[in-house]
Structure 1
Amino acid sequence: MRTGSNIRQRADGRFEARYTKARDERGRIIYGYCYGKTYEEAAGKREAALMAQSAVREMNLLILGAGSHGRTVRELAESLRLFPRIAFLDDNPDNPQALSTCADCVRFREEYPVAIPAVGDRELRLRWLRMLTQAGFVIPVLIHPTAVVSPSAEIGYGTVVDARATIGAGVKIGAGSIVSSGATIDRGMVLPEGSLVRCGQVVMLEGLQNQPYESDKT
C-alpha cells in the first residue's frame, strides 16, 4: 500500500489526500479531503485545492454595484494597493463590468473573500451589507489616502471615506456609510448606519439628512 504525506489508501481502494483547510474559533485544524483512483490523482487534486486557498489569501475585493459610486469605490480601492483583483456584481444584466448579480455573491466568496456594497440608496446598501455579513465575507472600511481621519474616530465596517474628506476627533460613523469627497464631519458627531455625507458637505451640531445619491439607486 502506497502512503505518505497525509495520503492513504482507503478500504474502498480510493486514495485520500488530507490537507489543512482552515481553523475553528478555538484554533483547531479543520481538514479538507481530496480523493482519486490513484495516489497521483489524489495528490494532484490536493495541490489544486492548496493553490485555490492561496488565491483566497490574496484578499481580492468584490464590489456590489457597478454604477458611478461603484466605480469611485473601485478607484479608491486601487489607490490603496491592497487588493490584487477587484471585480463587480450588479443587478443590471446588461452591465458588461459585472460578473453576475448581487444575490449571487456567495458563489464568488472563495475567490473574492472581501466585499463591500457600493450604491447610493441607503436601504439597498444596508440590505446588501447584511447579506454580505451573513455570507461570511470580510467587510472592509475604505479610506482614501488623501482623507484626514482623527485617530479617535470610530468608523463602522462597510464605510467608504472618499478623497480629501475630514473626520474630526471623537466622531462615530455607523456601518455602511458614505463620506463623499471634500466632506467635513465636525468633532464629536455621531452618524447612524447608512449615513451619506455629500461632496463638500459640512456636518456640525445641526445634524445630517440621510439622502441617497440620485444617480445611484441601482
Structure 2
Amino acid sequence: MSNLSTLVAIATARQEIKKSRFLAVAGPVPDEAAAKAFIEANSDQTANHNCWAWRIGQAYRFSDDGEPGGTAGKPILQAIDGQSLDRVAVVVTRWFGGVLLGSGGLVRAYGGTAAMCLREAEKVLLVDTVAATVKCAFGDLALVQARLEALPGAQVRVQSFTGTGAELIVSVPEDLADGMARMVADLTSGRAVIKFSE
C-alpha cells in the first residue's frame, strides 16, 4: 500500500529574497504529458528563470533553466520527495532583483519556495487500485451497483449494457479487491462474472 500523497488542486506560494521575487506553482499531474503541459502553462516568459521538477512514480525530471547547475531543479525535486508526494509538478519562477544569491542561496530560495508551496497545499493519499469488469444480469444490476458505490474507494468507471444485463468497469482499492469479488458473488448467488485486469 502506498503512503504517498498527491495534491488536490493547484497551489501557489510567493516570497522575496534579496530583491528577487520567487513564485512557486504546484499541481497534480497524472502522467508525463500532463507534467510538460503544466510546466508550459505555468512558466512566465517575462521572468528570468522558470525552474521546475516533477515526479510520477519512478520517473522524474528537473530543470535549472539557466541557473547554475544543481541550484534550482534538484532542490525543487527534493522538496517534492521530502514531503512524500507523487504525481506532482512544481514550477518556481524567479524575477531577478539585482543581488546575486550564490549557489547556497539559490538552493535555499528555490527549494524553500517549493517546499513552502507544497506544505500549504491540500493533499490526498494515493491509493493503489485495481480494475475489474463485472458482468451481471439486469435483475442483479441495481443491488450490485449500489453495493459497489458504497464500498470505500471503489468507483464505477464505465457502465454498458448487453442483451442480458450490464457490464461495469470498476476501480477498487487493491486491499479490498478480494472482498469486493466475494461480495458481488454472494449478492448474485454466483451469477455475476468478475474479471480483474492484469
| Structure 1 and Structure 2 fold alike (TM over 0.5) | no
TM-score w.r.t. structure 2 length?
0.27
Larger radius of gyration: 2
Q: Which has the higher contact order (CA 8 A, sep 6+)?
A: 2
TM-score w.r.t. structure 1 length?
0.25
